[in-house]
Structure 1
Amino acid sequence: MASVEERNSRTIHTAACLIIGDEIHDTNSAFMAKWCFSLGISLKRVEVIEDDEAEIIEAARRMSDRYDLVVTSGGIGPTHDDITYQSIAKAFGLNLVLHEEAFERMKKLGRFKRTESEPEFNWDVESPVKTARLRMVRLPIDESRDLAKQALFPDDKAWVPISVVNGNIHILPGVPKLFEPMLKGLKPFIVDRLEDPECNGLYRVIISTPLPESNIADYLTKLAARVEPKGVKVGSYPRWQKKNNTVTLVSKDRKFVESLVREVVENVKGRRVLVEGEDDEEEAAT
C-alpha cells in the first residue's frame, strides 16, 4: 500500500469524484469530467452517496487506495449534516484541527449575510454562530506532515481551502459557483505531476454514422483491440430517435488518432463531425 507522501507526489493518471449529500442536484461531476479531459487525466469513477459517516469513510478509503486523484464535493458547511470533514478525518485516524490561516481568511474575506432578526456578530465573542462557522475551518490534519500540503488556497480572494487528506483526497464545497473555480485553481498545484505537464489533454475525434451499432460492432471490437495498446479508446454511442449514431476515438496521441480517421469513416460509412449531433439539422432539412 502506498504511503501518504507517495500518494501526494506520484504521477496522476486516474481520478475519481465523490459527490456527498442527501439532496443532490449535481453538475460538479460533469464539470470535473471536462476538467480531467483537458488535463489528460482519466476520470474512472463518479459516485454519489448520502451524508452518512460510514458510507463516506468506506468510499474515501476505497477511492484513495484505487485512484491517483480523488475529489469530493459537498458536506463541508456549518450545519449538523455537513459531516464530510469529520468523516474523512475518522477514515484516516486524523484529528480535526483549527486551520489558523483559513480562520483568519474567513474573518477577513468571508461574506456572511446578516438578516434583520439576527443579532450582531462578533468574532471575539463565543456564540452558536461562531461555533457553526468554525466547523468550516476545522480540517482533517496529520500533524506529522507539512501543513502547506494539507490545505491549498487556489484563490487569493476566497477563504475556503481545499483540504488534502491521505495525500490524494481533495475536499471541495458542493456549491458549483465555489466548486468550479476551486477545481480550476487546483491545476497549478498538480501540474508537475501530470503525465503531460504541457496540459495538451486528451484528443477526441467524433464520427457520425447512419449504421446501427450491431452493424459496426464486429469492426469496432477488432479496431479497439488493435489500437488499445497504443492508448486509444474506441467508443460507440447510440442516439435514440436520431438517424445517426456516434463513434469516438480518444487518445493523447493526436497524430495516431488522425491516422485512423479515414479508415473508421469508411468502415462505418460515416462522416467526421466537430460536435455530436451537428448533422441533425441537415437530416431534418432533407
Structure 2
Amino acid sequence: MEALRIYLWSLCLSLCLIIYGANSDPLEDKRALLEFLTIMQPTRSLNWNETSQVCNIWTGVTCNQDGSRIIAVRLPGVGLNGQIPPNTISRLSALRVLSLRSNLISGEFPKDFVELKDLAFLYLQDNNLSGPLPLDFSVWKNLTSVNLSNNGFNGTIPSSLSRLKRIQSLNLANNTLSGDIPDLSVLSSLQHIDLSNNYDLAGPIPDWLRRFPFSSYTGIDIIPPGGNYTLVTPPPPSEQTHQKPSKARFLGLSETVFLLIVIAVSIVVITALAFVLTVCYVRRKLRRGDGVISDNKLQKKESNPFALGSL
C-alpha cells in the first residue's frame, strides 16, 4: 500500500508539473520583448500583451520545447522605428534566431548583443543602421548566417570574422565599409559571401574571394599589378547580347553551314518545281495531239461510206 501511495503522489506531482509547464510563460523574456515593443512602436499591429501567452501565440516568437525560453524572434517588415533599446533583446540569452530585416531601425549595432551567445542566425538587412561593425565576432561562435546588407555601416571589415568556423553565409553588401578585405580563407564552411558595392573597400581581391561569383565583389576598388586603383565593375554587355539571335544560332549551326543548307534546299525546290511544270506541259501537249488525231480519223470515216455503215 505504501508503494502504491508513493506512486500515486508521484503521478499527481508529474501531472501538476506538466499542466504548470503548459500554462507557464518565459516571464523574463516576455518582459524584455514588451519593453522592446513599447519603445520601437511598430506600425504593424502585433498580438503581444501582458495577458496573452507567449509561446505559440505571439506573432514572430518561437519558444523552446518546454516553453521556458524564447529562442527565435522574427519581425521582418513590421515598421520598427528607431534605435534598438539596450537591455531588451540582449536579455533573451537563449536566442538563436533574430530577424529584424526590412524595418526602419537606426543607430549603431547594439553593443549588448554580445550577451546573445547562442545566436546562430542574424538578419538586420534593409534598415538604417550605421557606425562600425562589432570588432569581435568571435563571441558568436555559433553564427551560421549573417546578413547586414543595405545599411550604412562604415569602417573596416573585422578580421575576427575568420573565427566563425560555422559561418555559411555572410552578406555585407551595399554599406560604406572601407579598408582592405581580411583573410577569410580559413572559413571552410563559407558557401556564400557578398561584399559588393562597398566602394571604399580597397586593395587586391584575395584569391580565396575569387572562387565566389564575380557579383560577390563588384563595386570595390582594387589595386592591379600597376599600382593604380581600379573600380571592379561588371563587364559591359556586348552588342550581340542585345541582338535577336539568328535562326542559325538558334539551331546551333554556324552562319556558313546554315547558308549552304538554305542554298541546297532552294536548288531542290526550284528543280522540283521545274520538273512538275515540264511534266504538266508535256501532258497538255500530248492531249492536244490526241485531239487532232481523233478529228482526222472522224473525217476519214465520214468520207468513207463503208466506214459510216459500220457505225
TM-score with structure 2 length normalisation?
Answer: 0.23
Q: Which has the larger radius of gyration?
A: 2
Higher relative contact order (CA 8 A, sep 6+): 1
Question: In proportion to residue count, which structure has more strand?
Answer: 1
